[in-house]
Amino acid sequence: MQEEGIDSQELSGSSEISRREVLVTLGVLGGAVAAGAAGWGLLEAMVALRQPVESWHKSVCRFCGTGCGVMVGMKDGRVVDVRGDELAHNKGVICIKGSMLPELVRIPGRLTYPKIRKNGSLVDASWDEAMALVASKFSESIREFGPDSVAFYGSGQLFTEESYTANKLFKAGIRTNNVDGNPRLCMASAASGYVQTFGKDEPPGCYADADYADCFFIFGANPYECHPPIFERIRQRKRLRPDTVIICVDPRRTMTAQHSDIHLAVVPGTDLLLLNSMANVICEEGLANQEFIGNHVRFSDGEKDCDFAKFREFLRAYAPEKVEAELGVSARDIRRVAFIFARSAATMSLWTMGANQRTQGTFLNNTLNSLHLITGQICRPGATPFSVTGQPNACGGVRDTGALSHSLPNGRLVANPEHRAQMEKLWKVPEGTISPRVGYDAVSLFRALEEGSVKAALILCTNPGTTMPAAGRYQSAMEKCFTVVADVVEDSETQRHAQVVLPAALWIEKEGVTGQGERRYQLTEKLLTPPGQARSDLQILVDLADRLGHGGLITARSPEAVWDEWRNISASSFYNFQGITYARLKKERGLQWPCPTPESPGTARRYVEGEDPFVAKGAGVEFYGNHDKKAVVYLRPYVPSPEKATAEFPIYLTTGRILEQFHTGTLTDRIQPLHDAGGPAMIHINPQDAFVLGIQDKDAVEVKSKYGTVRGEAKLSNATRVGAVFASFYDAKLLINRAVADNFDPTSKEPEYKVTAVSVRRVAT
Amino acid sequence: MNISYLQLVYLFGTIFCILGIVLCIRTARTRFGKLGDAPPVSLWITRLPAESAAKLTAFAALILMPAGAIFIANYHTFEGVHEVSGCASCHLMLPMANDLQDSNSGTLAARHFKNKWIAENQCYHCHSDYGFGGNLEAKMTGYRHLARYTTHTYKEPLMARVRFDNKNCLNCHQGTQKFEAVPSHHTAWARLVSNQMICLNCHGQAHPTSLQRTPGSPDYARLTEPLE
């Protein structure tokens, strides 16, 4: 292009920029900027408008004891999304159940009005009518038969404030220790194991230990299905350090076993033989850490102290070659596993119900702890015995508050006069208020209902009609008592036997603290209004306290007020979490106790200098729960289960969870994708056993034990060991717990769900 | 000197911008009212009246050149993000890029990179919605990021507001034996394909956490080092 005749300078005859030119240039520039700003503004508005989530709120998953931090996405007052919280301990990982939390608050069949049984049917009632009836029945029973004629049966799914208030109301108000709950069914053995070994309950380690362990000893646990974020963390460790060894001890070839390096399929009920045999190998082959033992360990036969030589002598009966036949694991594998356990740079044991729900549950827990103590695999990153818990608040809500029949807050015991006196002082009640009689544990309580010695029971947030062993027997027992149930859904097995049913708020419809498996307290804030007339369990308890004349005792009436009372009480114990305030919980991603001051970062590893505020400077490691500051290694003999297989009942029944369902399925089974995935619970049987019994896939079969009979559909599965059958307990239609034995551990009183001798046969449909 | 294809595109875009600015200045200085007396303008094989030539120049300055520059800039961006260095040219993306290439990191991005599950050196493989054929949401967000970045109206750490499209994962994983063997994939299938549930829920962090990307965090300096 030629420039001839175009240049305005030539046309104007001037080389200077005119005023007009400046204005035009500025105008164009201004227009361009305005257009850009308008476009940007429009873009911001459009992006904002198209956001599927209006606001994100920090919360905690409602389901298992992993206690995953989640972010709840809200829009227009509804939950529209839930994601794993990347800043929480679970590092953003949740499972399929947690991912379905948006559906949880919309499940069908919510209980929205109180109901009273009239002429055999539950009919709607007002809160006042229902609570007046409950209070009059409780008062009448207490007046006529004494305080021990009433009971509270709670749950590891209540908020801490609720369990704490119930415990206080019944023990310091009504004056009965008949306070127990479903945690008795799942982790009582872990608690008694820790208390006996370390002098204090709750694990010494934390989930983060999985990031450092080189050997995972997974014993009687199936974290792939039951605690998926924990297993994902284990797999992540394996990905980053491929030499990491995962050992799984389980009669079944579970999904966890399938993803492990070594699977030891023990015969149900015999695994204390394995632990003692491993200890034998460790002691005989020079794998014990004598320095750690010398500094931090004491030996005991359960009655009196002894020494390492006595321990070694005791273990000679458990040499691998002596136990392999009964245990079902070769001596070679026992030696191999013992060596890896002892010699890995850091070994982390994880266990759940396979160890806890046993008549030798406490012994198994003791010995798991002992393996770590004799090898020094403890109090270092990655080296720890870790009992994984099943419910979101069994640890914080029940174990820590002492909401069990034998215990009082912060590890105190009902049977200890000093402990009772301490709590009477802290609760500001007259001396002698707390009964010295240990209350009924779960099985004993339901037997007391059956016998008629307990006349009225309040059941919150749990479904014993399905979860109790020998369930048929205890369902009938509930009918002999004035049973009050607060629940979130209609038609649970328990409600069928209740006289009054109260609608309870669920998850983010109320506020409170939960304490998950690694001593971490986390706050669930209220984001929704409960449906209909549903109330929080705390409101129900406060109302009952007022009506029973204990309003002066239960002065803390909001979740935060209860929490403040509780954290101040903790200051007088080794649990001390006075520094965990609501303000901090709202801001931080949970805190692990001990955490005595508002500045304390919490304690990831207990008994370790520099981490645990109770360990003296220069001590390094100090098991301060015991008088001599040493942990105790017990000599725990193997005793066969009372459910040893016989000619009449030649097969072992074990039960457990599946990935998609939590507990009795009252919540998860109402979420359609989880319901579809779980399907009806079936009787899993090894094809070899099925062949002998003439059973084919999907045949109707009968499982019969001394305790009851159930019928269901057979599923042939190589995951099930020969000589054993498995069924999950989420399905009320199968209700496998009717056939499960109600034997229990003499110390922890936890029933042995994992071992029941049964017969299995094909039946006509 | 080795000039890459992208550098050529960049050069071409720069020429367009400079030319556009020059033409804008010329247009602003033109007295359209006085062009009637001006001699015609010679355009190689033809001659145009001065007024027509000035209008043509104005059209090129105000429409043609900006449109061309925008097109080339977008093309350069879309092509550029096919390489990690392209994404990391914005320093806010450095933590993602550094972590991606860190063999000790366990994030999904790092695992995909070190195991060569993704095409070499590409963020784009898992973020294909930012590409030329990506969805409107990603485009809007991208332009918003550009506006925020160039005007410095952002704060670290950067938080993703859009929902990551699961198709980016499913494109490769769906149908594989390993994927199909996981029961939860079938349980959640409807929610996964409709993006109601993100894959990351079960599979963890894709990139460093927002805390790690916050200035002052222990990891910040390491994560924001310039790429080698």
- Residue B24 pLDDT: 87
Q: Which residues of B touch A28 (CB under 8 A)?
A: 24, 28
What is the span of the domain harbouring residue B97? 90-223
CB A43, CB B147: distance < 8 Å: yes
* pLDDT band per the 50, 70, 90 thresholds, residue B172: very high
Pairing of the two strands A412-413 and A456-460: unpaired
Q: Do A83 and B39 touch (CB under 8 A)?
A: no
* Contact between A99 and B201 using a beta-carbon 8 Å cutoff: yes
- Contact status of B137 with chain A (Cβ, < 8 Å): yes
Is B112 within the bounds of a domain? yes
Higher-pLDDT residue of A256 and B7 is A256
Last residue of a domain, one of B20, B53, B80: B80
Q: Is residue A138 part of a domain?
A: yes
Cα separation, A402 vs A409, in Å, equals 4
Residue A218 lies in a domain: yes
Contact list in B for residue A25 (CB cut-off 8 A) is 25, 28
Interchain contact, A96 vs B161, CB within 8 Å: no
Q: Which residues of A touch B111 (CB under 8 A)?
A: 239
Task: Assess whether A528 and A415 both reside in one domain.
Answer: yes
Residue holding tokens 């929080």? A536
> Which residues on A lie below 8 Å from B34 (Cβ)?
11-12
* B204 assigned to some structural domain: yes
Is residue A230 within 8 Å of A211, Cβ to Cβ?
no
Encode pLDDT of A604-619 as tens digits.
999 999 999 999 999 9
pLDDT number for residue B132:
66
Phi-psi region of A715 (alpha: psi -120 to 50; beta: other; left: phi over 0): beta
Specify whether B214 is located in the same domain as B170.
yes
The answer to whether A738 touches A708, Cβ cutoff 8 Å, is yes
pLDDT-derived band at B131 (thresholds 50, 70, 90) equals: low
Continuous segment of H or E residues that includes residue A562: helix A559-570
Pairing, β A297-300 against β A631-634: parallel
| Count of beta carbons in the 10 Å neighbourhood of residue A139 | 16
Q: What would the pLDDT profile of A141-165 be if each residue is shown by its tens digit?
A: 999 999 999 999 999 999 999 999 9
Q: Which residue has the tokens 């209070």?
A: A135
CA–CA min distance B174, chain A (Å): 17
Q: Among A6, A47, A232, whose Cβ lies nearest the Cβ of B141?
A: A47
Q: For B121-149, b where at least 16 C-beta lie within 10 A, e where not — what string?
A: bbbbbbbbbbbeebeebbbbbbebbebbe
Please indicate, yes or no, whether residues B110 and B180 belong to a single structural domain of this protein: yes
Q: Which residue has the tokens 């109601």?
A: B196
Q: Does B21 touch chain A (CB under 8 A)?
A: no
Same domain, B121 and B191: yes
Q: Where are the alpha helices (DSSP H) in chain B?
A: 5-28, 50-59, 65-80, 84-88, 94-100, 108-114, 136-151, 167-173, 177-180, 183-187, 189-193, 200-203, 220-223
The total number of structural domains that make up chain A: 5
| DSSP letter, residue B227 | P
Of A573, A238, A515, A530, the closest CA to residue A393 belongs to A515
In chain B, the number of structural domains is 2
Q: How many CB atoms lie within 10 A of CB A137?
A: 19
Kindly report the number of other CB atoms within 10 A of residue A638's CB atom: 22
Task: Give the three-state DSSP class for A352.
Answer: coil
Q: Rounded distance, CA A352 to CA B134, Å?
A: 47
Express each pLDDT in A316-329 by its tens digit. 999 999 999 999 99
**Chain B partners of A7 at a C-beta cutoff of 8 Å?**
29
Q: Are residues B211 and B101 in the same domain?
A: yes
Residue B29 touches chain A, beta carbons under 8 Å = yes
- Whether B152 and chain A come into contact, CB under 8 Å, resolves to no
pLDDT at A1: 42
Select the residue of A28, A47, A94 nearest B144 (Cβ to Cβ): A47
Other beta carbons within 10 Å of A162: 32
How close is the nearest chain A Cα to the Cα of B13, in Å? 19
pLDDT at position A7, please? Answer: 46
Cis peptide leading into residue B157 (ω within 30°): yes
In chain A, what is the greatest distance between 2 CA atoms, to the nearest angstrom? 120
Locate the chain A residue with the closest alpha carbon to B55. Answer: A6
Chain A: residue whose CA lies nearest to B208: A86
Dihedral through CA A554, CA A558, CA A561, CA A563, nearest 10?
Answer: 90
A5·B196 Cβ contact <8 A = no
**Packing angle between helix A331-343 and helix A320-327, nearest 10 degrees?**
110
Candidates B17, B18, B23; CA nearest to B68 is B17
Q: What are phi and psi of A220, to 5 degrees?
A: 60, 40
B105 and B38 in a single domain? The answer is no
The shortest CB-CB distance from A93 to any of B137, B202, B209 is to B202
Rounded CA separation A714/A416 (Å): 50
Closest-CA distance of chain A to residue B187, Å: 5
| Residues A532, A112 contacting (CB under 8 angstroms) | yes
Q: How far away is chain A from the Cα of B28, in angstroms, using its nearest Cα? A: 6
Provide the CA A732 distance to its chain's centre, in angstroms.
Answer: 21
Q: For A622-711, where are the alpha helices, taking DSSP H only?
A: 672-678, 687-693
Which residue in the set A8, A28, A228 is minimally distant from B31, CB to CB?
A: A8
Q: Is residue B85 part of a domain?
A: no
Q: How far apart are CA A755 and CA A227, in angstroms?
A: 22
Q: Are A240 and A351 contained in the same domain? A: yes
Q: Does the CB of B147 have a partner CB in chain A at under 8 Å?
A: yes
CB contact under 8 A, A93 and B53: no
Residue A454 counted as domain residue: yes
The pLDDT confidence band at residue B82, using thresholds 50, 70 and 90, is confident
Residue B45 inside a domain? The answer is: yes
**Are A100 and A119 part of one and the same domain?**
no
Q: Do A427 and A534 reside in the same domain of the chain?
A: yes
Q: What percent of chain A has pLDDT over 90?
A: 92
Pairing, β A150-154 against β A179-181 = parallel
Q: Say yes or no: A202 and A281 in one domain.
A: yes
Measured in angstroms, the CA of B38 and the nearest CA of chain A are apart by: 5
> CA angle, corner A423, sides to A422 and A429, nearest 5?
110
Please name the member of B38, B147, B197 whose beta carbon is closest to the beta carbon of A43: B147
Question: Which chain A residue has its CA at the smallest distance from B212's CA?
Answer: A87
Q: What percent of chain B has pLDDT over 70?
A: 96
Instruction: Kindly report, residue by residue over A679-736, the tens digit of the pLDDT.
Output: 899 999 999 999 999 999 999 999 999 999 999 999 999 999 999 999 999 998 999 9
Strands A500-503 and A215-219: unpaired
* Domain C-terminal end among B80, B109, B133: B80
- The answer to whether the peptide bond before residue A102 is cis (omega within 30 degrees of 0) is no
Separation CA A541–CA A504 (nearest Å) = 11
Residue A1 falls within a domain, yes or no? no
CA distance B125 to chain A (A): 22
Instruction: Kindly state whether residues A489 and A376 are assigned to the same domain.
Output: no
Distance from CA of A184 to the nearest CA of B (A): 30
Pair A727, A720: CB distance under 8 Å? no
Cα radius of gyration rounded to whole Å, chain A: 30
Residue A59's nearest CA partner among A50, A67, A69 is A69
B173 found inside a domain: yes
Report helix, strand or coil for A724. Answer: strand
- β pairing state of A651-656 and A512-515: unpaired
Judge whether A583 lies within some domain: no
Nearest CA in chain B to A230: B202
B212 with B189, same domain: the answer is yes
B91–A contact, CB cutoff 8 A = no
One domain, residues B173 and B64: no
- The CA distance from B162 to B221, in Å, is 27
Give the confidence band of B1 by pLDDT, cuts at 50, 70, 90.
low
Domain boundary pick from A634, A663, A692 = A634
Q: Hey, are the CB atoms on A98 and B201 less than 8 Å from each other?
A: yes
Inter-chain touch A5–B50, beta carbons under 8 Å: yes
Question: In the listed set B47, B80, B113, which residue is the last one of a domain according to the structure?
Answer: B80
pLDDT band at residue B2, thresholds of 50, 70 and 90?
low
Closest chain B C-alpha to A30 CA, distance in angstroms? 13
Q: In this structure, are B27 and B110 located in the same domain?
A: no
Q: Label residue A199 by pLDDT band (50, 70, 90).
A: very high
Determine, for residues B200 and A47 on separate chains, whether the beta-carbon distance falls below 8 Å: no
Residue A11 pLDDT level (bands cut at 50, 70, 90): very low
Task: Quickly state the pLDDT bin for A6 (edges 50, 70, 90).
Answer: very low
CB atoms within 10 A of CB A597: 11
CATH number at residue A547: 3.40.50.740
CB contact under 8 A, A51 and B161: yes
Residue B30 contacts A where some CB pair is shorter than 8 Å: yes
Q: Are residues A380 and A306 both part of a single domain?
A: yes
Looking at the domain assignment, is residue A596 inside a domain?
no
Last-in-domain residue among A634, A663, A686: A634
**Residue range B160-181: average pLDDT?**
90
> Which range is least confidently modeled, A274-288, A712-726, B20-34, B163-177?
B20-34
In a domain, A575, yes or no: no
Q: Do residue A119 and residue A96 come from a single domain?
A: no
CATH of the domain at A758: 2.40.40.20
| Residues B75 and B100 reside in one and the same domain | no
Query: Which stretch of DSSP H or E encloses residue A350?
Result: strand A347-351
The answer to whether B161 contacts chain A (CB < 8 Å) is: yes
Residue A305 backbone phi and psi in degrees, to 5: -70, 150
Work out the number of other CB atoms within 10 angstroms of the CB of residue B153.
9
CA-to-CA dists, residue A105 to A460, A463, A516, A525, A539, angstroms: 19, 19, 22, 14, 20
From chain A, pick out residues whose CB is under 8 angstroms from the CB of B144: 40, 43-44, 47
Same domain, residue pair B111 and B37: no
What range defines the domain where residue A64 resides?
A: 56-104
What is the three-class DSSP state of A152? strand
3-state secondary structure of A62: coil
Of the residues A44, A83, A85, A96, the best mutation for testing chain B's interface (the one with the most B CB atoms within 10 Å of its CB) is A96
A215-219/A245-249 β-pairing: parallel
Quick one: A524 and A468 in the same domain? yes
CA-nearest of B105, B106, B103, B110 to B126 is B110
| Dihedral sign (CA A710, A715, A717, A722) | positive
Query: Which of A526, A555, A584 represents a domain boundary (last residue)?
Result: A555
Look at residue A170 and tell me whether its pLDDT is greater than 90. yes
pLDDT in tens, A102-128: 999 999 999 999 999 999 999 999 999
Same domain, A526 and A438: yes
| Pairwise pLDDT comparison (A173 vs B121), residue with the higher score | A173
Asked if A655 and A736 count as a contact pair (C-beta separation under 8 A), the reply is yes
Please check whether residues B23 and B70 belong to one and the same domain: yes
DSSP, res B61:
I
Residues B123, B158, single domain; the answer is yes
Cα–Cα distance for residue pair A335/B171, rounded to 1 Å: 46
Same domain flag for A206 and A323? yes
**What's the average model confidence in pLDDT over A193-211?**
98
Task: Give me the total of CB pairs closer than 8 Å, taking one residue from chain A and one from chain B.
Answer: 125
Q: Do B184 and A12 touch (CB under 8 A)?
A: no
| Cβ pair B202:A81 closer than 8 A | no
Q: CB–CB of B50 and A95 under 8 A?
A: no
- Mind telling me how many Å the CA of B193 is from chain A's nearest CA? 14
Confidence label for A16 from pLDDT (cuts 50, 70 and 90): low
Q: How high is the pLDDT of residue A624? A: 97
Residue A134 has pLDDT above 80, yes or no: yes
Do A373 and A426 lie in one domain? The reply is no
Domain membership of residue A656 (yes or no) is yes
- Determine the Cα–Cα distance for residues A331 and A337; give it in Å rounded to an integer: 10
| Chain B: residue whose CA lies nearest to A55 | B161
pLDDT at residue A10, as a whole number: 44
